[in-house]
Structure 1
Amino acid sequence: MKSRKRFDYAILVPVFVLVVFGLMMLASASSDLGKLKFDDAYYYLKHQVFYGLSIGIVGFLLGLFVPYRHYKKFSTLLLFLTIIGLILVFTPLGSSSGTAAERWIALGPITFQPSEILKLTFILYLAAWLSGARSNRGDNFWEGFMPFLAVCGVIGLLLILEKSTSSVIIIMFSALVVYFASGAKRQYVFYAVFLGVLLMSLLVVFTPYRFERIKTYFDHTSDVQGASYQTNQALITIGSGGIWGVGYGKSVAKQYLPEQIGDSIFAIIAEEFGFVGSTILITAFFFMVLRSYQLAKRVGDRFGRLLLVGFGTVIGIQVFVHIASNAKLIPLTGVPLPFVSYGGTALVVFLTMSGIMLNISKHA
């Protein structure tokens, strides 16, 4: 296979810009919170750089320079270790992020989120499995569809027990896209979608806090100081930015908006940079995801093609869920904005994904 000697700048440039922009936004959005909690306006920025960006650069370089086909050999082991991490969340090593959800593993001063790592390792595993010796697994019911459902079921159950609904949506949707891209029969994809929607509907009906979120989505006046508060404030914050925004560092909502450095950071971006700035940000993500799909069509290697499709989908669906929940296009769900929101694990994962995508781009 002929190899291009240069990486694809249509992916490299957006990644660089988004990381720098994310640090800038974190410095702005977290300043008041840092002063209040730690008497240090740059506490969260420094934490993101030391525990997120520094490790993320290592992951990025590994993804960039280690031949991507090598990851195929270790994909099963990496997924197995990630599943062990998901299980350890329920042991004394597990901790929460201040909500009812148990999503973290704490090892002294270091914490990490297995469900974020899963977005990387599960796509690696699926791409390796579906591009194996039996390249037509996707269109075989017993050798393809049923094993696919089984592994999705195990992972989905662990995520549901962690109360990580957003991760279930992002990971399972991305897995389904990879499965479809592998050549799976459309009827199998339809079966999987139907089963997923049915199970998620039952989950919402029989878990009160999830049902409350759906209720809040359709009636934002039902609990204005409770479940509806974050949704209402995010909408007000987005609207207050107008066309051009109030200016960098001049956000007022960062003083009271819940999750202003994480799940609600897009609202702060819209307030400070307005409709124009928000549109530019969305466009950068859009072209990055679009480029990953374009490169996937040109890569001759099946494993590389499925990785590009999978990673591009993870980034795209996570951006959509984050922005849509802030804008109340979908019910509120906690998910960080890739490369931008506070969270070391997510930044490491997305930088590693980006490195692998650039690695594959040399062969497109």
Structure 2
Amino acid sequence: MGALFEKYLKGDRVIWMIVIFLYLSSLLLIYSSSSSLAFRYHGGNTTYFLIKQLVFLLVAFIVMWTAHLIKYSVWYRLANILLALSVPLLGITLLFGRNLNAASRWLEIPGLGISFQSSDLAKVILIMYVAKYLSQMQESTDDFKQFLIQLIAPVAFVCALILPANFSTAALLGLTCWLMMFVGRVNLKYLFGITGIGIVLVGAFIAISLQFKTLSRAQTWVNRIENFISDDKTEGNYQLEQSKIAIATGGIIGKGPGRSTQRNFLPHPYSDFIYAIIIEEYGVVGGVFTLILYLMLLYRAALLVKKSNRLFPAFLAFGLALMLTLQALINMAVAVGAIPVTGQPLPLVSLGGSSLIVSSGALGIILGISRSQDKKELFDGEEPVKDNN
């Protein structure tokens, strides 16, 4: 096993092991949570979703493996170009994207019949851009004009393009960038001031959207919050109630692999509520272990930050790991009823295409930074613009 890692899977071995474990867990959980649904709607083929996820995982692994071979300096050079390309892509998705669950989130590649969520790609690109900017501005943290034009404007614009169709993704991305700025020593007076203005503008957008219902899914957001605080156990809270039943019946050690009963009642047991299936089948022990795996990813990224003497790879690894960890925590919080339903999948585990592939690509970038550290590439002065460190 050591020789395999040394030859083919370079970088942080703990991250590789966590990813491979989550991949294998995904196959087991997808088959368990979707077999009855596949039997019902796909001609008795209980392995329909399993095979679909297996294909996604193979593609995701290739993307991750390829990304881990690329030097971090390549992402530094491409950050601005990729951001410039992602903005029109988000605009096209918002205006002409394929509707799913009353949201224009999907963009179809002409002639191939393949759809993807452009917001998934934009998340990684924006974090890449923020990491680059923060690495350059350490000696000018009090320059408000530069901060506003070069950092806040791109972050706000990208989040604004995602917001109408996908509030939770826009909020997750905004929070990740905010925490990166906080860690990046942005002047707190500027940071909290802009945050206050942003909250007011988002509130105004939601209020206007409720009057002109075609602008966004604001009514859906309001309904989810109302359902969350409501005592109604039969209608609006159906998903959450079924999830709570799954968790309550799982106990300490769970019912065992493949023995979930709530998979027949949860609307999305293989994606949004897969964490409830984990606890039902593997108990609190399985749920806590899954939580620890994601926290360990963040911890390993923090170690990369600690060892790095270059700011860009440090900010990039931290931002990407933070985004994935926050997404996982949001998915888990929804499943246990701590926050309203968001629709965020569990990274590397939930059934999905673009989310799984992009998340794997993000981890590939983190592994690439780790590989560069092992090869001392972070210390050879290759960075196109010197970090002010």
In the other structure, the counterpart of 2:99 is 96
296, 301, 306: which one aligns with 1:287: 296
Which residue identity lines up with residue 52 of structure 2 in the other structure? H
How far 1:140 moved relative to its partner?
A: 2.0
In the other structure, the counterpart of 1:86 is 90
Which residue identity lines up with residue 75 of structure 1 in the other structure? A
Aligned residues: 353
Q: SS state of the match for residue 15, structure 1?
A: helix
- Rounded to whole Å, the distance in 1 between the matches of 2:288 and 2:229 is 26
In the other structure, the counterpart of 1:106 is 108
- Rounded to whole Å, the distance in 2 between the matches of 1:325 and 1:10 is 28
Superposition map of 1:28-39 within 5 A = 28-39=32-43
Q: SS state of the match for residue 65, structure 1?
A: coil
In the other structure, the counterpart of 2:258 is 249
- 1:92-143, Cα deviation, whole Å (9 max, x unpaired): 4x2133x1111111234311111111221111111122223x4435442110
Structure 2 portions without partners, runs of 5+: 1-5, 211-217, 375-389
Q: Is the 8 A contact 2:67 2:361 kept in 1?
A: yes
- Rounded to whole Å, the distance in 1 between the matches of 2:85 and 2:48 is 31
Q: Is the 8 A contact 2:133 2:151 kept in 1?
A: no
- 1:210-234, Cα deviation, whole Å (9 max, x unpaired): 222111111141x722x21111111
In the other structure, the counterpart of 1:339 is 348
- 1:253-312, Cα deviation, whole Å (9 max, x unpaired): 111201111111111111111111111111111111122122212211111000111011
- Rounded to whole Å, the distance in 1 between the matches of 2:67 and 2:182 is 25
Q: SS state of the match for residue 363, structure 2?
A: helix
In the other structure, the counterpart of 1:274 is 283
207, 210, 214: which one aligns with 2:225: 214
Q: SS state of the match for residue 89, structure 1?
A: helix
In the other structure, the counterpart of 2:146 is 143
In the other structure, the counterpart of 1:46 is 51
In the other structure, the counterpart of 2:128 is 124
- Rounded to whole Å, the distance in 2 between the matches of 1:157 and 1:231 is 29
Scaled by the length of structure 1, what TM-score is found? 0.91
How far 1:65 moved relative to its partner?
A: 0.8
Scaled by the length of structure 2, what TM-score is found? 0.85
Which residue identity lines up with residue 42 of structure 1 in the other structure? T
In the other structure, the counterpart of 1:181 is 183
How far 1:203 moved relative to its partner?
A: 4.8
Which has more radius of gyration?
A: 2
Query: C-alpha root-mean-square deviation of aligned residues, in Å?
Result: 1.9
Which residue identity lines up with residue 336 of structure 1 in the other structure? P
- Rounded to whole Å, the distance in 2 between the matches of 1:201 and 1:233 is 31
Q: SS state of the match for residue 303, structure 2?
A: helix
Q: Is the 8 A contact 1:220 1:232 kept in 2?
A: no
In the other structure, the counterpart of 2:19 is 15
Q: Is the 8 A contact 1:245 1:272 kept in 2?
A: yes
Q: Is the 8 A contact 1:204 1:211 kept in 2?
A: no
Q: SS state of the match for residue 255, structure 2?
A: coil
Q: SS state of the match for residue 161, structure 1?
A: coil
- Rounded to whole Å, the distance in 1 between the matches of 2:256 and 2:246 is 13
Q: Percent identity over the alignment?
A: 27
Q: SS state of the match for residue 30, structure 1?
A: helix
Moved more, 9-18 or 297-306: 9-18
Q: Is the 8 A contact 2:94 2:161 kept in 1?
A: no
Which residue identity lines up with residue 313 of structure 1 in the other structure? L
Superposition map of 1:289-308 within 5 A = 289-308=298-317
- Rounded to whole Å, the distance in 1 between the matches of 2:246 and 2:203 is 31
